[in-house]
């Protein structure tokens, strides 16, 4: 007997199937499952099912004061089964964050900020004494299933007078810790984008990839994507959306799209203020913005499931396969108008919404907020 059977699961290609789940794992995928189950969920003809959505750039440690939120309010309530906190905490306070994260229904992982207190102030990398490689290594060893990467914010307001040095230290720390994924925030110069990209390697993540700043990937005069960004993409640098309050620009995203540069992963950089007041609101809204740019729904779903799972080595998440975690998002496509706004105030009209209606995490089902 299965713990749960999901009936009439449907993908975009119209294929329907059943899923048998036991102890939080996918045990069987078949056109029809007749085996008994303790619980059954049947999708309606209007509903689709994907692997659970992953938001790989959030800020969700509620005890912080600058950037914070609550995992379940941005996760399970919004159709997101897994969130990855992007450097809110450092070696001094990540253990406290871990204790809070264990209480959430949503799967929570963390990128460890190379600054030991994380983002308690905007300039966490202005004092190089806060970068303690030994402390970083110790916490990674203590919390190997929670810390899945590193985070360095490389913009003028963060690094102060230190330029590119914090990133050089981050790369050294990365090499000393099993080449963990490194996410790098790009913002206003200095340091210059050229210097940042010169240090990044295949598998490193550049977040805020479509920001509208002069130090971003768009050459303001020619309105073309900078050659250094094209070369970075070609050599395997991962482009992550990281929408945030100030880091997603429709025109940059569209220009990149038409020049063959697409984001690899779609994330929100969500925290309580840009969730409640916009322009982020939730992952679904960010996904809708990429649909408006020109991405297909199929590739959008891939960029919030399979791709982030692979980037961060979440080996049992991101795909609907036997043996994988029973994490799913059930959603509908609704043909209704909706106004979307980017981080620089540009408004666009969308005629189709993606609406998560049910979140399934480890085989347990939760209704999404309407």
Taking the CA atoms of 166, 171, 260 and 350 in sequence, report the sign of the dihedral they define: negative
Residue 258 annotated as binding site: no
Which H or E run includes 240? strand 238-240
Q: Is 100 among the annotated ligand-binding positions?
A: no
The verdict on whether omega for the bond into residue 191 sits within 30 degrees of 0, i.e. cis, is yes
Beta bridge partners of 85: 58, 110
Given a contact cutoff of 8 angstroms between Cβ atoms, the answer to whether 348 and 250 are in contact is yes
Cβ–Cβ < 8 Å for 219, 180: no
Where do the H-state alpha helices sit in 244-332? 250-258, 272-276, 283-293, 297-302, 306-311
Nearest to 178, CA basis, from 140, 207, 151: 140
- DSSP letter for each residue of 338-354: EEEE-TTS-EEEES-EE
Residue 240 is labelled as binding a ligand? no
Annotated binding site: 57, 59, 151, 185, 208, 269
Annotated binding site for Zn(2+): 57, 59, 151, 185, 208, 269
């Amino acid at each position: 007997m299965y713990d749960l059977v999901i009936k009439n699961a449907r993908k975009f290609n119209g294929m329907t199937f059943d899923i048998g789940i036991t102890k939080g794992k996918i045990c069987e995928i078949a056109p029809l499952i007749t085996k008994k189950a303790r619980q059954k969920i049947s999708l309606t003809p209007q509903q689709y099912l994907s692997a659970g959505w992953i938001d790989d750039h959030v800020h969700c440690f509620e005890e912080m004061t600058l950037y914070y939120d609550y995992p379940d309010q941005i996760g399970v309530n919004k159709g997101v089964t897994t969130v990855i906190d992007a450097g809110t905490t450092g070696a001094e306070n990540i253990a406290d964050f871990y204790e809070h994260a264990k209480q959430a229904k949503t799967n929570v992982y963390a990128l460890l900020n190379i600054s030991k207190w994380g983002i308690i102030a905007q300039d966490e990398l202005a004092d190089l004494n806060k970068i303690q490689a030994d402390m970083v290594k110790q916490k990674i060893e203590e919390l190997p299933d929670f810390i899945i990467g590193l985070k360095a914010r490389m913009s003028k307001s963060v690094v102060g007078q230190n330029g590119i040095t914090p990133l050089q230290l981050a790369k050294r720390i990365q090499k000393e810790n099993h080449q963990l994924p490194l996410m790098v925030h790009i913002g206003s110069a200095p340091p210059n984008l050229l210097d940042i990209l010169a240090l990044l390697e295949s598998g490193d993540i550049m977040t805020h990839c479509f920001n509208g700043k002069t130090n971003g990937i768009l050459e303001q005069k020619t309105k073309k994507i900078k050659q250094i960004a094209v070369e970075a993409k070609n050599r395997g640098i991962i482009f992550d959306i990281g929408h945030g309050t100030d880091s997603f620009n429709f025109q940059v995203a569209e220009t990149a799209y038409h020049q063959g540069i697409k984001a690899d992963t779609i994330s929100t950089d969500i925290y309580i203020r840009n969730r409640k007041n916009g322009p982020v609101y939730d992952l679904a809204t960010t996904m809708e913005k990429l649909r408006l740019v020109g991405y297909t729904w199929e590739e959008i779903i891939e960029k919030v499931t399979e791709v982030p799972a692979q980037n961060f080595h979440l080996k049992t998440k991101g795909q609907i396969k036997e043996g994988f975690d029973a994490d799913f998002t059930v959603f509908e496509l609704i043909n209704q108008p909706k106004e979307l706004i980017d981080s620089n105030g540009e408004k666009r009209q969308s005629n189709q919404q993606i609406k998560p209606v049910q979140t399934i995490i480890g085989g347990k089902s939760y209704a999404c907020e309407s």
